[in-house]
């Protein structure tokens, strides 16, 4: 048993409380940054999905344009829709979990 180690635990230097407060603030800022990044993913993925939909609509309105090229964009649109919904549900789950803890 180390007496110096035990006495250090009992006696905290004056800056220790300030350091704990600083760490708590940094954790809150990091948590807010993660939430902002998750919201940014929803917005980015959703806007790409809408742009692809608009491109598909514009291509379908062009007369004598081969529909096969537009058909290849359909699965990409579906996957982007699913990815957007996943990010949206993930954001909702985080909001519910955050509400229960606070």
Residue 14 DSSP one-character state: T
Structurally, the chain folds into a number of domains equal to 1
**Would residue 1 count as lying in a domain?**
no
Tokens of 58: 């514009």
**Would residue 4 count as lying in a domain?**
no
In terms of pLDDT, which residue wins out, 14 or 23?
Answer: 23
Q: What is the CA radius of gyration of the chain?
A: 26
pLDDT value at 8 more than 50: no
Please give the pLDDT value at position 18. Answer: 57
pLDDT value at 76 more than 60: yes
Give the domain range for residue 46: 37-102
Q: How high is the mean pLDDT of the chain? A: 78
**Would residue 22 count as lying in a domain?**
no
Please give the pLDDT value at position 6. Answer: 46
3-state class percentages of the chain: helix first, strand second, coil last, to nearest 5: 90, 0, 10
| Total-model pTM | 0.64
**Would residue 20 count as lying in a domain?**
no
């Amino acid at each position: 048993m180390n007496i110096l180690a035990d006495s250090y635990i009992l006696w905290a230097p004056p800056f220790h409380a300030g350091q704990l407060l600083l760490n708590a603030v940094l954790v809150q800022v990091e948590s807010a940054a993660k939430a902002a990044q998750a919201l940014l993913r929803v917005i980015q993925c959703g806007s790409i999905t809408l742009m692809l939909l608009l491109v598909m609509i514009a291509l379908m309105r062009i007369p004598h344009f081969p529909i096969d090229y537009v058909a290849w964009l359909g699965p990409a649109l579906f996957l982007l829709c699913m990815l957007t919904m996943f990010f949206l549900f993930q954001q909702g789950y985080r909001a519910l979990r955050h509400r229960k803890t606070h």
